[in-house]
Amino acid sequence: MPASIPDFAFERLATRQGACRVVGVDEVGRGPLCGPVTAAAVWLDPACLPEGLRDSKRLSARARDTLAMEIRAHADIGIGHASPAEIDALNILQATFLAMQRAIAALALPPDHLLIDGNRLPKDLLCPAQAIVKGDGRSMSIAAASIIAKTARDKIMADLALRHPGYGWERNAGYPTKCHLNAIATLGPTPEHRRSFKPIRKILCPDST
């Protein structure tokens, strides 16, 4: 089955129902063993919609970088993170919601309607919101948010790789690849690793279940 191409239908419907500033929200980094979870909130100017928007996972790194530059040139963007310590303290779902709330708060102008990727919404949002399953393949605003979040987090992981060489974060972005797992076994966890995630917890607490 071919990949779906996101369109502006959700945004137009919200506008017809009275919304003036419809913002898409997405996150990246729930699965890695280290680094932050990162969210982006993006308001797209309906008069300057970027061509070629897709779910960030379906784009090459070069295409993501090109689209990210175009999005940044014409959109209102907010980016938020939750740290490994916050992930360990809250759990990954609640840390993801925290990153989303921080991204929304970082917008230059507040939204009056949110389109959020997934099937659950953060609590205490200040405007109406709609959860959209597989939203990064259905809504252009969410697709744009996925691209911004992905490129922002990849940059963070590449910078962290310079401080913690040997784990391959510039290539694997902290996901549990064979190279990354082997490096953890050899070099041990870093302060950037998520202590609550099973592969790290097993190394730090080998007697725990």
Q: Rounded distance, CA 37 to CA 40, Å?
A: 10
**pLDDT given at position 126:** 92
Find the mean pLDDT for residues 141-149. Answer: 97
- pLDDT for 1 equals 43
| Residue 110 predicted with pLDDT over 80 | yes
The secondary structure of 96-163 as a DSSP string is HHHHHHHHHHTSSS--SEEEEESS---SS-SS-EEEETTGGGTBHHHHHHHHHHHHHHHHHHHHHHHH
CA distance 32 to 68: 22
Spatial contact of 137 and 18, defined as CB atoms under 8 Å apart = no
For residue range 166-187, list pLDDT tens digits in order: 999 999 999 999 999 999 999 9
Residue-wise pLDDT for 25-83, tens only, equals: 999 999 999 999 999 999 999 999 999 888 888 889 999 999 999 999 999 999 999 99
* Residue with the two structure tokens 């609590």: 123
Cβ contact 114:145 at 8 Å: no
This prediction has a pTM of 0.94
Q: Please answer whether residues 11 and 139 qualify as being in contact, where contact means their C-beta atoms are separated by less than 8 angstroms.
A: yes
Residue 167 and residue 33 in contact, taking contact as beta carbons nearer than 8 Å: no
204 band by pLDDT with thresholds 50, 70 and 90: confident
Helices (H) and strands (E) in the chain, counts: 8, 5
Contact 34, 187 (CB under 8 A): no
Percentage of the residues of the chain whose pLDDT score is greater than 90: 87
Q: Which CATH class name applies to 9-162?
A: alpha beta
Compute the mean pLDDT over every residue in the chain, rounded to the nearest whole number: 94
H or E stretch covering 183: helix 178-187
Residue 55: what pLDDT? 81
